[in-house]
Amino acid sequence: MYFPLAYFGMPGPMEMFIIAMIVLLLFGNRLPSVMRSMGKGIVEFKKGVKGIEDDMDQASRPDETNGTGSKVE
């Protein structure tokens, strides 16, 4: 009987360990720099999302003006 790959599901702990060992063998010496770059990318992404959220919050708040176009302090 033919079973497509989708029926096998997620790999178990032993398969994950084997995959991790293969990744370490292939990318072992470059892995720290790759992880550092990925961490910097995540930080930049979070900063960008935070900036967009701040812009959205600022745009959704009504302006506090006195009717003449100048802000009331």
- Residue among 60, 62, 38, 58 at smallest CA distance from 50: 58
pLDDT in tens, 17-66: 999 999 888 888 888 888 899 999 999 999 999 988 888 888 888 765 55
Question: Is the pLDDT assigned to residue 71 strictly greater than 60?
Answer: no
Give the residue, 12 or 42, on which the prediction is more confident: 42
Q: Which amino acid type is present at position 31? A: L
Give the pLDDT confidence score for residue 2 in this predicted structure.
58
Structural tokens at position 12: 């178990």
Residue 45, helix vs strand vs coil: helix
User: Is the full-model pTM beyond 0.95?
Assistant: no
Cα–Cα distance measured from residue 65 to residue 73, given in angstroms and rounded to the nearest whole number: 9
Cα–Cα distance measured from residue 22 to residue 64, given in angstroms and rounded to the nearest whole number: 60
Q: Which amino acid type is present at position 20? A: A
